[in-house]
Structures are given as C-alpha cells and as structure tokens.
Structure 1
C-alpha cells in the first residue's frame, strides 16, 4: 500500500465512521517501533507503522486508523483527546477502534551478552552486557588479571 492509497483510506474511514473530513496528511513511517501509529498535535498529521499492515493485514490497520482519527477529531474540536479522557474512550468504543495494537516482530535483535571478561590465570569467564575496563578489576576466584573479549554477533 502506498502513501496515496493510505491517504485515501484514512479520508474514507473518516467520512464513513466520523461523518467529518480528514483534511491533513496520512503517511507510513517505518521508523515507528513500539506503536501502531501516532497523531501529531502540531501538524495534525497521522503516521502509521507499515509493519502492522504487512504482518496483520488491513483489518488491523483500519482499527489503528480509527484510533488515531479519534485523537484527530477530538483535538480539533478542543475536546478530551488523550487516552485517559472519557470522551476519547467513548468515541473509540462507538467507532470500533482498537485500544491497543498487536505486537509486531522484527526490530533490533540484541544479544544478551556482548562482552566477556576472561581470567588470565584460572580461565574463569564473566559475561557482561556493557563494556568495562578490565584493568580496574580482578578475578573473584583467584585474584588474577582479567582480559576483555568481545563476543561474536551483530553490534547493536
């Protein structure tokens, strides 16, 4: 789905479910990671996560669009547009929008441990997520010097 098709879909949903026109821009934003979409207060534009459409289909995308249009129309009418506002919850229930979107896979894959400290004398291993200076520490088992070793995998 292109941004033009998305714009047309948002305008259609706005007229069909809210009986009000959508007069701003709707676009995909692939940088969104943890959310299905967002309504921008200053520009009144709506950005949507394209991975939700790719992984869950058009029905999930429409539910997210309805959610963002609730923010949009309530904000323009100077009514309660926040998630905690009663007016927002009521309008969302009326139009059948989603309160929460489903999770998407992908994103950054991080290894649980990126660094390993190895004792030069006894060979004891200490796994660490963050890099540290081995000269400032000693082995807890034998008191020997430590050597830093970066583990294999994508640096993230």
Structure 2
C-alpha cells in the first residue's frame, strides 16, 4: 500500500465517520518496529502548546500484512486524531475511545499480531533463545536469567 493510498483512505474515513478532513501528514516509518502505527503529538517543552501532529505507520507492517489489517490500524490512528481534534478523550485507555472503536468496528490496540522481520538472539552464557522485532537488542540488554550477554543469530521468518 502506498503513501497516497493511505492518505486517500484516511481522508475518506474521516469525512464519512467524523465529517472532518485529514489535516495532518501520514508518514511510513522504516524505523518503527515495536508498533504497527501511532498518532504522534509533539509539544513545546514547558508550555504544552501543540506544534506538530502526524500519523505514523510501520513500513514492515505494510509490507507483510493484508490491506484489511493495514486499514484497520490506519483507521484506529485516525480515531485518535479525530477525537483529539474534537477535544474528546483520545487515549487507548479512555472508555470513550474504546466505545468509539467498538461502534465503528475497529480493533483495539495490540489486537493484530506482528508479521514481518524477526531477529533471533541467544544468551552466550545459558543458551536461552528468543526472537524480537528489533535488531540491535544484543547491544542494549542482558539476560534476565543469568545476566549474560546476547549474540545475534540472524533473521527468522
């Protein structure tokens, strides 16, 4: 799915369901690996005056998933944007947000399983193996079982 298609579907969804146009950019991020999508608000430090908003969708998620799942995540982020713009509760934990998702037939956060690149790691000390969505895990973390360092074993499907 292309950037233009994402903007088209988001604009159509917002006009149909909230009677408002898409007034923020949509960005496809190759760096986003732990989330499928996000509605981001950037504030000036100190005075909480918003200066920038955007919807971000993971490139890996777009490449490895069907259009149905991609649109569900996109619409979820659009609901965050619409409710924030209208001054209503817009966070995942807010009951009003959950009710809006349910009314529109959109999935809640962490409903979809990540499909895409996964990286395999092993503890050098106790040989514990696991996979993560992110590369570079071995540089930042230690094993919780034995406090050993990890080694990167490669990409898994």
Residue correspondences, number: 124
Aligned-residue CA RMSD (Å) = 2.5
Displacement of 1:48 after TM fit? 0.5
What is the rounded CA distance, in whole Å, between the counterparts of 1:129 and 1:51 in structure 2? 30
The answer to whether residue 3 in structure 2 is matched with residue 3 in structure 1 is yes
The answer to whether residue 82 in structure 2 is matched with residue 73 in structure 1 is yes
Q: Report the structure, 1 or 2, having the larger strand content.
A: 2
The match for 1:122 is none
**1:107-139 alpha-carbon deviations (Å, 9 max, x no partner):** 4332x13369xxxxxxxxxx98428xxxxxxxx
**1:65-124 alpha-carbon deviations (Å, 9 max, x no partner):** 1111111011111211111111101111122211123222314332x13369xxxxxxxx
Q: Where does 1:13-24 land on structure 2 (aligned, <5 Å)? A: 13-24=13-24
The answer to whether residue 101 in structure 2 is matched with residue 101 in structure 1 is no
- Secondary structure of the residue aligned to 2:73 is helix
* Runs of at least 5 residues in structure 1 that lack an aligned partner in the other structure: 117-126, 132-150
Name the TM-score, length of structure 2 as normaliser: 0.68
Q: CA 1:105 to 1:129, structure 2 compared with 1: closer, same or farther past 3 Å?
A: farther
The match for 2:31 is 31
**1:4-34 alpha-carbon deviations (Å, 9 max, x no partner):** 2322221122222332211110121121112
Q: CA 1:152 to 1:41, structure 2 compared with 1: closer, same or farther past 3 Å?
A: closer
Name the TM-score, length of structure 1 as normaliser: 0.68
